Amino acid sequence: MKKRPIALLLVLALLGVGVFVFADRNTSRAEYGDITLNRHAEKAGMPPVVFPHWFHRIRFKCKVCHPAIFEMRAGSNDITMKKIVNKQFCGRCHNGTISWPPLYCDRCHAGKSDITIPKARGFVK
Amino acid sequence: MKSRSRKYLPLLIPALAFALGLFVGTGGAWAQDKGAAAPADQAAQPAQSDEEFFKSLIDPRQAIWMDSRGNVAGTGDPNSFAGEAFKVGRGPHPEALELSELPVDQYGLVDWARSIREGYITPRHTLDPAKQDKPDDKPFGLALLIPTKSESMPDVIFPHDIHTMWLTCNNCHPEIFAMNGKLNNKVMTMPKIAAGEFCGRCHNRIAFPLSDCTRCHVQDKGATVPEGVKAPN
């Protein structure tokens, strides 16, 4: 009879903490179609780049960037910061005229080494 | 009486912890509701748009701007915010995709075809300032019937229409698909597509996944082919 309030206490405390933890709305997560770029980033001591396709797709049609700026095959674009600053690749827009300039490292270098991008359901290579 | 109240005293602490968790957890939602309700209260005062109202809430020295991933992108006065794009009103970014309120498919992925057809989005078609004000080329309407190699699977109708709303000819031709339907149909198989060739260059990666079978396999074998759909000759 005496143990019951303690059990109840524990359950309620856990529930309270659970709500506290899982209601965190500010957790960012990867989306379907996101691309990680890590050929040079981590070797140079920077976190991998996460490219959000969806965000750009709302604003531009595919043909704006493909294939003139980015070849449509993973691994076929050798992107470096130097090239971006020289207005190639991302720098075609991210130069302060069409979009913000490449001065805010953590906006793109936002990935962790073990980042997982959601894969398509069903057929996955 | 006294013993009873002491018995329930330990309950008070977890109850408080629960309430605190709830309060902090839903704090964001409450704040948003408040924000949404506030303009209605202000409706009595004319000549103040929602935008002006929200701007009046922000102390520029205190403002923190988030990027699309929820990271801090900048602080301070939005008018001095980085980038010319921001100054002309193209920002700040939505925090996340779910806040963009685009239509979704059965998997909860954005239905980009509906988004562009129904005008949820109007993506730009060029970076060239001289061409920006001109409308994009009209989509190419040709629909192609692609017979399947299996007897049990309906045939595919490929709509050029929606693809050319996004893409131009040389995105796919001739590198991914030869300009010869007969040849393509012979070599195209589902395993190859699943391995990332042909349609699989985009579908399953950026465009909707291959597991959404009936979005492509629409034409039952033996049924009359709709008008305007070109069957292989």
CB burial readout B198-227, b (16+ within 10 A) else e: bbbbbbbbbbbbbebeebbbebeeeeeeee
Q: Report the distance separating Cα B33 and Cα B56, nearest Å.
A: 17
User: What are φ and ψ of residue B132, in 5° steps?
Assistant: -65, -35
B133-159: pLDDT as tens digits: 899 999 999 999 999 999 999 999 999
Q: Report the distance separating Cα B27 and Cα B34, nearest Å.
A: 11
Provide the pLDDT for residue B36.
Answer: 44
- DSSP string covering A65-79, please? HTTTTS-SSTT----
What one-letter code names the amino acid at B65? W
Place of tokens 């300032």: B129
**Partner residue opposite B67 with nearest CB, options A23, A60, A107:** A107
Provide the pLDDT for residue A50.
Answer: 83
pLDDT confidence bin for A74, thresholds 50/70/90: confident
Q: Residue B200 in contact with residue B149, Cβ under 8 Å?
A: no
- Assigned token pair, B119: 């005008």
Length of chain B: 233
Q: Report the distance separating Cα A66 and Cα B202, nearest Å.
A: 12
Q: Which residues contact A95 (CB under 8 A, 6 or more apart)?
A: A87, A101, A102
What one-letter code names the amino acid at B67? D
Q: What is this model's ipTM?
A: 0.71
Provide the pLDDT for residue B133.
Answer: 86
Q: What is the mean pLDDT of residues A19-41?
A: 65
Residue of chain A whose Cα is closest to the Cα of B176: A72
What's the alpha-carbon Rg for chain B, to the nearest Å? 27
pLDDT confidence bin for A118, thresholds 50/70/90: low
Which CATH number is B102-233 given?
A: 3.90.10.10
- Distance from first CA to last CA of chain A, Å, rounded? 58
Provide the pLDDT for residue B15.
Answer: 60
Give contacts of A57 with chain B, Cβ < 8 Å.
112, 123, 206
Q: With 90 as the cut, is the pLDDT of residue A34 above it?
A: no
Q: Report the distance separating Cα A26 and Cα A104, nearest Å.
A: 20
Q: A75 to chain B, minimum CA–CA distance in Å?
A: 13
Check B14 against A31: CB less than 8 A apart. Answer: no
- DSSP string covering B129-150, please? TTTTTSPPPPPP--EEEE--SS
Residue of chain B whose Cα is closest to the Cα of A25: B28
Provide the pLDDT for residue A114.
Answer: 63
Q: Report the distance separating Cα A58 and Cα A60, nearest Å.
A: 6
Question: pLDDT tens digits for chain B (233 residues)?
Answer: 455 556 665 666 656 666 655 555 544 444 444 444 444 454 455 677 777 776 676 665 556 666 555 555 555 555 554 444 444 444 444 456 766 788 999 888 899 999 999 999 999 999 988 888 899 999 999 999 999 999 999 999 999 999 999 999 999 999 999 999 999 999 999 999 998 899 999 998 899 999 999 999 999 999 999 999 999 87
Q: What is the mean pLDDT of residues A92-110?
A: 85
Burial of A69 (0-12, 13-18, 19+ CB in 10 A): middle
pTM > 0.80: yes or no: no
Provide the pLDDT for residue A57.
Answer: 92
- Assigned token pair, B174: 């001739």
Please state the separation of Cα A7 from the chain's center in Å.
Answer: 42
Q: Report the distance separating Cα B217 and Cα B153, nearest Å.
A: 7
Give contacts of B71 with chain A, Cβ < 8 Å.
28, 106-107, 110
- Assigned token pair, A34: 């996101």
Residue B110's DSSP bridge partners are B104
User: What are φ and ψ of residue B27, in 5° steps?
Assistant: -50, -45
What's the alpha-carbon Rg for chain A, to the nearest Å? 21
B20-48: pLDDT as tens digits: 555 555 444 444 444 444 444 544 556 77
Q: Which residues contact A78 (CB under 8 A, 6 or more apart)?
A: A39
